[in-house]
Amino acid sequence: MFNLLAENLNFGEGPRWHNDKLWFSDFYQHAVLTVDLNGNIEKIVDIPNQPSGLGWLPNGDLLIVSMLDRKIMKYSNNALTLHSDLSELTPFRCNDMVVDRDGHAYVGNFGSLHHAKDVKPTCLIHIDPDGNANIAAKKLDFPNGTVITPDGKKMIIGETYAGRLTSFDIDADKQLCNRKVWAKMMPTWYYIGVRFALATIYRVLNLQVKEGSITPFPVPDGICLDEANGVWVASPTTSEVIRFEEGGIITDRMTTPDRAYACMLGGIDGKTLFVITGKSSIPEDASAEKNGKIYTTEVQFARAGCP
């Protein structure tokens, strides 16, 4: 059972529970917004080059992914400044981000210059609290939603185009190692064979891949972690939120009113699951219509870790 909290979004992303409100980005309103539990929306700051992932430094400064110019902006004392320029590390639009409790950030990117066309394996970027950036991992298939466990020693990241959650250990220097498949959603035969064959046809014919036209399986977009080490996944291809445990075990599965693009646990006791939905992520569609909404539902286990 989902309850409508907010509507009239263009395309919401990067939900984070912070200071008793849900913070999120709207790509095509070019702004970071908040919504409280009564549905009151407030604009925090404009980001002209499209905001995406959000997180906070230990001192409370807000970090914001600026997608189109591939920068991390810092919002502090009502002023917006540059925290880190990632444009030398990737040519692709940056997207989701997780910031750990020490202020280290990890940022993914689309792996393509155009929406859903010629998508290539790409990197995950690490940024230290001073804004210094380096490549943390390579050959990820659209690195997207990301969580870090409460002890700060493990990362789980969604690879959207591979239909899987991948884990890394985080070492003392905040670098990633021991890469493993944490949960698989898309069968290997489909990922290797059918998906690439269809994608090749679309590319040769210069067609845009429509959401759901190639992948009939769940894929991870935004994700969040709970206290029982379960990962909630927003799956736009199947319009669901699904709770996975390590190894791919599904414990909960709920159909959402529209395509689910992101989710976050929060609320008074941490057990409110916020889900951002929309009709489409295609820029021409999402920017023209205000079909984005935020829904809530109550779940068994509370939020844990980062974000």
- Higher-confidence residue: 207 or 305? 305
Mean pLDDT, range 72-95, rounded to an integer? 97
Identify the pLDDT of residue 271: 98
Residue 97 placed within a domain: yes
Residue 286 placed within a domain: yes
Angle at 233 between CA 120 and CA 65, to 5 degrees: 55
Residue 287 placed within a domain: yes
Query: Percent of the chain beyond pLDDT 70?
Result: 87
Residue 248 has pLDDT above 50, yes or no: yes
Give residues with Cβ within 8 angstroms of 233, minimum separation 6. 145, 158, 165, 185, 218, 220, 221, 223, 241, 242, 243, 244, 263
Q: What is the CATH number of the domain that holds 135?
A: 2.120.10.30
Alpha helices in 193-303 (DSSP H): 195-204, 283-288
Predicted confidence band of residue 188 (pLDDT cuts 50, 70, 90): low
Q: Are the CB atoms for 220 and 158 separated by under 8 Å?
A: yes
Q: Which value, in Å, is the radius of gyration of the alpha carbons in the chain? A: 18
Tokens of 236: 């736009």
pLDDT tens per residue across span 28-49: 999 999 999 999 999 999 999 9
Q: How far apart are CA 296 and CA 172, in angstroms?
A: 37
The boundaries of the domain holding residue 242 are: 3-298
Mean pLDDT, range 145-169, rounded to an integer? 97
- Dihedral over Cα of 129, 134, 139, 142: its sign: positive
Identify the pLDDT of residue 209: 47
Identify the pLDDT of residue 201: 43
Q: How far apart are CA 129 and CA 277, in angstroms?
A: 32
Q: How far apart are CA 226 and CA 216, in angstroms?
A: 26
Q: Which residues face 124 on adjacent strands?
A: 137
Domain count, the chain: 1
Q: How far apart are CA 63 and CA 250, in angstroms?
A: 33
Comparing 115-124, 140-149, 210-219, the range with the smallest average pLDDT is: 210-219
Comparing 20-24, 47-51, 115-119, 176-180, the range with the smallest average pLDDT is: 115-119
Residue 201 placed within a domain: yes
Residue 76 placed within a domain: yes
Residue 306 placed within a domain: no
Identify the pLDDT of residue 282: 72
Single-letter residue type at 295: Y
Residue 304 placed within a domain: no
pLDDT tens per residue across span 191-227: 555 455 445 544 545 544 455 445 578 999 999 999 9
Q: Are the CB atoms for 149 and 225 separated by under 8 Å?
A: yes
Residue 84 placed within a domain: yes
- For every residue of 188-201, which 3-state class applies, written as one string? HHHHHHHHHHHHHH
